[in-house]
Structures are given as C-alpha cells and as structure tokens.
Amino acid sequence: MSSWPTDDIRRRFPSLARPGPDGEPVAWLDGPAGTQVVDSCLGAINDYLLRSNANHGGAFAASAETDELVHYVRAAMADFLGARDADEVSFGANMTTITFALSRAIGGTLEAGDEIVVTRLDHDANVAPWLALAEERDLVVRWVGIQDEDCTLDLSDLERALGPRTRLVAVGLASNAVGTINPIPAIATMVHAAGGRLWVDAVHAAPHLPIDVHALEADYLVCSAYKLYGPHVGILWGRREALEELPPFHVRPAGDAIPGRFETGTQAHELLAGLGGTIAYLERLGVSLGGGPGTPGATDRLRRPRLLAAMSTLRSYESRLVGQLIERVAAVPGTRIRGIVDANRLAERCPTIAFSIEGHRPEDVARFLGQRGIYTWHGDYYAWELIRALGLAEHGGMVRVGLVHYNTADEVERLGRALEELVTA
C-alpha cells in the first residue's frame, strides 16, 4: 500500500487534521456512522448558497441554475448507481425517512394477509418501517436469520420464507455492523421467482463497492450521501414501473410524474450541490488512480466508467487494509471478531469489523480509545436484530471499527497498540 497517495487524499478532507488529546491527529475509524466530508463538497455547498440560492422553477437566472444543479446531480447519481434512466433517481432527507415514506406508498398496493420478508442482519431502518407497515395493513412478516459462525444470511431461511403471497423482501447490500456483503443477485432471482419486489439498503455498501442496480436486479435501492463523503441527503432509485405503480404522497401541485414523484416539499438544494461536489471528487479519483477515461466533472457518457474506476480502486485498497485490521485486532488477547475473518473471503465483506474484548464492556473500550483520539463506535449501531440474535444486547453490543479510503495502515496499528494497552493495564 506504499503507492497509495495517502497525503494527497487526506488533504482533501479538512476534518482529518483535527488534533486528539495528545496533539496527534484523530483517527476517524467511525466511517459506518458517517464519513468525513471532502473539500469539493464543502466548496460546492458554499458556492451555491453564495451565488444561486433560489427555489427551482422560477423565471430568473438563479432559479434556472438551481434547475440545472438538480438535473446534474440526479444524472450524476444515476451514473454512480448504474441506472439507465436518471429520472428514476430522487432525493430525500435520509434513507430512513425515504424508507418510511415509500413503505407507506407500497402499503397502498397491498392487501391484508400479504407477506413481507425482513432479515436479522439489517440495520433497523430496513426493518422497522416494514414492521410498522405490517401492523398497519395486517400483513404477515417472515424473518430470515443468520449463520452465527460468520454472520452471513441464511439463504435456506429465505427460501422457506418466500411464498405465493410474498410481495416485498427488504435486505441490505452490506451489513453496517459486521461488514457482510449479501449475494443480492442470487437473492433477487429467488424473490422475483416468488413474484415479489426487492428493496435493497445500500447505505453501508455505497462508500465501498461499485454499484449496478441492474446487475443487482433490485427493484428499489436506497443510500445516504453522508456515508459517502457527502452531506446529509438520502437517495432513492427505483425501476420506473415499480415507482409508477405506487401512489405518491405529496402536495397536489407537485404532480405524479417522475423524477420527483416522491420528493416531498422543497429539496435542500445546497446539499444536492454538495453531493455533486462529492461525485466530482470520486470522478477525479477514477481518473488519477483508476485510469478512468475522460475529464472529471464532464457530463458525458464516460462519467459512469470514471466512477466505476474510482470505486474499484477504493475497493482494492480497503480490502487490503481490512485484512491488516482483522489480523491486528484478532492478535489482541481476549478479542473476538464477529463476521467473516478468513483472509481468503475478504471479497465477501466491507472494511467494517465488530468485536468484543473479554472482561471489557464495549462502551468502556470505545471511551478508552476516544480518550486517545481513536474514534470508534459501540452498542448495536441500529443493527438491533443482529445484536440480539448473537446474544450480545445485555453485554452492551460490540465495538465497531469501520475503514474508508482515507484511513491508513498506521491508524490500524495505532488502534492495535491502544487495545493492547487496555487489556494489559
């Protein structure tokens, strides 16, 4: 990893310079809770508010600029997700809000006794909305469990859960807790054979994996920009036919056409500008590191290849780094990592691990690390069902460490030394 341009990348993220208690820069290892923001995102937000802060649809220059901005960012996110139709992309406050809103719309097409399927591996934002819908509409909920030994989905459980009244299956592309990447194309085949729709939560996967909604064979996919080096914006993609069959919930003048069929109220245009700045940054990485074609920021047919080159390059770097992370944390006495730890199976996981240390509550471990300028997370991180399936809720959950491409091997070693200091104190 010596050829990785660590300094150049880290300079693009101003918050990485924040000093810790000892004066050394903070080690931000809490990426799954929200990544740090790239400078081009910050600049785009600032520029929009200074120059073009107007609502869309007006007969003057600043409003026309806002219209152009929304069109650009919608198309850019379509390219990021591999969507063929930019009009299938819409925006909202965050993934959780979007999922609650769309679950209500989906509920308008269902009848009492219809079935929805959820998993015990998912973030609760992809569970609770469907449970609420089931209670409201008198639906049947089917559960998919996990394989305890590696925290992967039990696909035989999924097969048993599917039936003639399956209407929707909600599943994550990757676990925000233990990093497991789910085999979504295989799941999609099973779901569609049963006649159901597939809702994919890609929040945790988006910073780490090249995404192609058509290759995944999803019907809906959601993610959040603040996990992707950007601002607090939620993104929804849906197949046109899947979106058009749903009753929209919005004010009457908004109309029922897509795009924007499920965009309620005025969007946070300054945050969409920031998201555009984030996408431009990824394009530049695709060209400079991944050999992607064309000019960064150009709205041409080569933007998708540039973004694919970026995400493939980041994926390669992060996979090597998480291998070091697993090895280093596993070497600390009394530590147990949950999830995939086999070095030959790193392609099946994101660079996120969750672990416990014998004799130490997760909150105490996270606090100990935080006092040394190492930022991690503890608890259940909204993976409510998973932590309970593993029997860890009463023990305070686990400690979670999540890497992204601005993290370094030195930070991993620093974490390892701090954990050794904790267990030998």
The runs of H, that is alpha helices, within 208-302 are: 213-216, 240-244, 269-288
Joined tokens for residue 241: 């036919």
The per-residue pLDDT for 98 is 97
* Paired residues of 221 in beta bridges: 200, 237
- Whole-angstrom distance, CA of residue 368 vs CA of residue 206: 30
Q: How far apart are CA 76 and CA 79, in angstroms?
A: 5
Q: Give the pLDDT of residue 329.
A: 98
> What is the reported pLDDT for 301?
87
12 in helix, strand or coil? coil
Residues of the chain with pLDDT under 50: 1-2
Beta-ladder partners of 360: 357
Domain ranges of the chain: 6-37+307-424, 45-277
Write out the H or E segment, with its range, that includes residue 140: strand 140-144
Q: What's the pLDDT at 255?
A: 74
Euclidean distance between CA atoms 19 and 296, whole angstroms: 32
Using a pLDDT cut of 70, give the percent of the chain over it: 99
Q: What is the pLDDT of residue 269?
A: 98
Q: How far apart are CA 66 and CA 72, in angstroms?
A: 10
Give Cβ neighbours of residue 192 (< 8 Å, ≥ 6 apart): 198, 217
Rounded-to-integer distance, Cα 195 and Cα 229, Å = 36
Buried b (16+ CB within 10 A) or exposed e, 128-137: bbbeebbeeb
Provide the CATH number for the domain formed by 45-277 in this structure.
Answer: 3.40.640.10
What's the CATH code, domain 6-37+307-424?
Answer: 3.90.1150.10
Res 70: pLDDT: 96
Tens of pLDDT along 375-396?
999 999 999 999 999 999 999 9
Residue type, 126: N
One-letter amino acid of 54: A
**For position 419, what pLDDT does the model report?**
98
> How far is the C-alpha of 50 from the C-alpha of 386, rounded, in Å?
45
Contact 187, 211 (CB under 8 A): no
Indicate the helix (H) or strand (E) that contains 306.
helix 303-330
Q: How many helices (H) and strands (E) does the chain have?
A: 14, 15
* Percentage of residues of the chain with pLDDT beyond 90: 92
Q: What was the pLDDT predicted at 1?
A: 43
